[in-house]
Structure 1
């Protein structure tokens, strides 16, 4: 156990707080190459649980996992020009091997639409081969100029789903269904409420017909794009000649989708739930749900023996428990548990053993509860459920209470400067979105499927034209 450093309060400097809790929580280390990070056991354990839980949900949509190569030949990427232009500044290029120049450049995948396109064209002959619903869990590389651990690193982990369909309706339906999978998963496991909607034309994925998104609000009220689902139409199937014989025996191009979430979710989890004591991990995704801390066991061996017995009892009841039997003092052990975000702490000391009790301490509220040893399993499970629910409810309240409607651009600037989100009628195009971003730092987050507040205006706050399109704006990560 390393020495714990002071954590900068959130309200003093949120960015510094984020760095402090990541460092103290032992989540990552910086990699040898600039802009890369090493996932330590705690952060990778969270990601592993995300992968396992989300993969189960994918299986309900008949998703099959595959793995495609890391390198994309230049000739392949050139087939979809819009896609190439969207990623061009971030592409890492291999031009020589062993000191010899290659005849063709290779790119390290920033995403895999082109690789899947090349793969799918040889997999499909008739409508009987469709749909193909594939996913891969991989690393990708994007040469970001500005990096931030978990939020924006050059190399990161993600899942990317890619599908092929016989008609547009089926593809559009799956695009929507996968976004709902993300929305439900984020709520159930990460206790993360989101605003679901469609990206504007300016903000959609390069090469997509449209992009759907789930947007989360961090504790500093900045937005974070938590996941996206793209309807690609025939934008990739035509360049890659992915066609099939339909039921009328006519040759037709297939329809595609792609969708993904990444290790950005770790950043979202930290900034949604964390406090000035460290991170807080929702129980359903926590690698360790309970830290069992024995107090003064070096003076009383019975405490250690009872602690081991109770830990085994909790483990047998499918709870993830870690025993802290180190020689550190009670204060250090408690702080160490808190800073690592373990949802529940159980303490057993001499008086507790004497009274046949244990003390349960919630990480989210720091409330202490004395319970009988015989009730430890039932009480622990109840509290973990309460913690999961409370984390979601607090985050949901924060999201819902920070939308503001505006009717003028001046009002817009004031609301954005205050840190809140704007939700208002907007019919501006991409050029206006660029101006707004340059002048305020805010970007369009989505056109919500459901409005979280009542909108009374029917005129765009910027152009003053009547519109029935309502758009959410915020500063974002």
Structure 2
């Protein structure tokens, strides 16, 4: 990559990429759609990042493909991010590289191919979708450390007492499939540890001192809201398991609410020019021509992110030319 951007366009990057060859056009299209839906499901269920599934325009689709399906996400600064794609390549590449198979009639035939992938730009998407001024906010389903436990003590005797009480809690959490770190490092003060794990986005922090043990309680802090509360030590592992799911759901809900608040509908080009300056997804009619698409891009720096698969399919007239439009498409400025 010549023009780099941290986390999004790096000089070198890792792909999750797949290629399939099929006997029929229908099988290839089915797999192409299946994969974009799988990426959308991963984005929503693990990254807590809502996306819009759609088809790229002829001008934006992968070169040589019959169709490119995309998932488009909305970042907190109002810019769109293409988070994954799936391409139905038809037989174009098979013909170019002479990829054939023997069909049921025992005759050679070109395969119907597709390819699909996501890359490490998803890390950038995760950061820009959820994080705040205090650092990362990681969804529990993806966080490498889901819970951190920090002891509050004045001397080695108190630390030993706390460690003995914490050990079975750590075991219980791990038995529930929860990743947990007990940070009893003596070269860092609790305040430093609090800030450090906040920056790193650990979903749940437990702080426990000698008085907490006496009271049978523990201080719980959730990273998504920065709220603190006291919970009983008895049954804390099961409580944390439920809390992590609540945090996951809350992070997703917050992202959905923000994304939806950034979707607006316009009918005229003058209105579009005003609204695009506010960021977000703009739903507008387009006449289907590359000329109009390029005109909008040149004059507003906005591109058609996709023709959404779901939503309003009502035909109308192009906001620029007044010509017939099959349905509204999604415009945005993007990374």
TM-score by length of 1: 0.67
Q: In structure 2, what is the equivalent of residue 234 of structure 1? A: 91
| 1:292 match | 149
**How many aligned residue pairs are there?**
332
Do the aligned partners of 1:192 and 1:269 also contact (CA within 8 Å) in 2? yes
Give the unaligned 5+ runs of structure 2.
none
In structure 2, the residue matched to 1:213 is 70
List 4+ stretches of structure 1 deviating above 3 A: 454-457
Q: State the Cα distance separating 1:202 from its structure 2 match.
A: 0.5
Match of 1:324 in 2: 183
User: Equivalences for 1:16-415 in 2 at 5 Å?
Assistant: 143-145=1-3, 147-296=4-153, 298=155, 300-301=158-159, 302-327=161-186, 328-415=188-275
Does the aligned pair in 1 maintain the 2:134–2:199 contact within 8 Å?
yes
Give the number of the structure with larger relative contact order, counting CA–CA contacts within 8 Å between residues 6 or more apart: 2
The answer to whether structure 1 residue 466 and structure 2 residue 318 are counterparts is no
Report if the CA contact (8 A) 1:428-1:463 is conserved: no
> Offset at 1:144?
2.2
Q: How much has 1:297 moved relative to structure 2?
A: 5.3
Contact 1:297–1:349 (CA under 8 A) maintained in structure 2: no
SS at 2:316 equivalent: coil
Q: CA deviation at 1:428?
A: 4.2
Deviation at 1:400, TM superposition (A): 1.6
Give unmatched runs, 5+ long, in structure 1: 1-142
Structure 1 counterpart SS, 2:14: strand
Structure 1 CA distance for aligned equivalents of residues 282 and 219 of structure 2: 45
Distance 1:455 1:338 in 2: 44
Moved more, 462-471 or 164-173: 462-471
How big is the shift at 1:372?
1.4
Aligned to 1:476: 334
Alpha-carbon distance between aligned partners in 2 of 1:375 and 1:369, rounded to the nearest angstrom: 15
RMSD, aligned α-carbons: 1.6
Contact 2:78–2:278 (8 Å) recurs in 1: no
Q: How much does 1:166 deviate?
A: 0.4
What secondary structure sits across from 1:161 in the alignment? Answer: strand
- Matching residue within 279, 282, 293 for 1:419: 279
What is aligned with 1:62? none
Deviations 1:223-282 (A, max 9, x none): 111110000001100011112222223322110000001111111111111111111111
